[in-house]
């Protein structure tokens, strides 16, 4: 779960950076949607860490550890066209969806009903976002 948590933390900051640096004709829509996305991911970060603690696991908590374990890559910190942002976020959310499915599978194998149930919510969250982003292409 630390890999999933790490990807969520990096994704949160990436979405925030994209929110600041998005530009183009769809600026207003993308700017607002990115804020909605990073607020949602921030809530998931806390939820995953607390679920880990309830299961007796130790969530990583240092930035260096998050970056070392994450598959999600940081944003460049450069301006990005709103149409390109859709592709970036779609790819990241697909990765997070795949990870959420893996978390559920591992939780079921380990008999962790709490984590398996929470993973259903993560799967639902990212499935909807992936579908919606795919519709905007």
Residue 81 has pLDDT above 90, yes or no: yes
Mean pLDDT of the chain: 97
For residue 104, the model assigns a pLDDT of: 98
Domains in the chain, number: 1
Spatial CA neighbour of 67 closest among 8, 112, 116, 128: 8
Cβ partners under 8 Å of residue 32, min gap 6: none
Domain with 68 in it: what CATH number? 1.20.1260.10
Q: What is the pLDDT of residues 12-62, one digit of tens each?
A: 999 999 999 999 999 999 999 999 999 999 999 999 999 999 999 999 999
Q: Which residue spans within the chain are E strands per DSSP?
A: 22-23, 80-81
Structural contact between residues 88 and 15, judged by C-beta atoms closer than 8 angstroms: no
pLDDT class for 137, splitting at 50, 70, 90? confident
For residue 96, the model assigns a pLDDT of: 98
Structural domain for 104, as ranges = 2-135
Cα–Cα distance between 92 and 114 in angstroms, integer?
25
Its pTM surpasses 0.85: yes
pLDDT class for 98, splitting at 50, 70, 90? very high
Q: What is the 3-state secondary structure (H, E, C) of 26-51?
A: CHHHHHHHHHHHHHHHHHHHHHHHHH
């Amino acid at each position: 779960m630390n890999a999933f948590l790490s990807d969520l933390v990096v994704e949160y900051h990436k979405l925030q950076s994209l929110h600041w640096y998005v530009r183009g004709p769809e600026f207003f829509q993308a700017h607002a949607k990115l804020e909605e996305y990073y607020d949602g991911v921030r809530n998931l970060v806390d939820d995953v860490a607390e679920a880990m603690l309830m299961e007796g696991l130790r969530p990583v908590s240092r930035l260096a550890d998050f970056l070392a374990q994450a598959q999600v890559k940081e944003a460049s910190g450069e301006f990005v066209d709103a149409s390109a942002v859709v592709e970036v976020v779609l790819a990241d959310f697909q990765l997070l969806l795949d990870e959420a499915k893996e978390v559920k599978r591992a939780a079921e194998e380990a008999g962790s009903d709490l984590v398996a149930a929470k993973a259903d919510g993560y799967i639902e969250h990212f499935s909807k976002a992936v579908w919606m982003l795919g519709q905007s292409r």
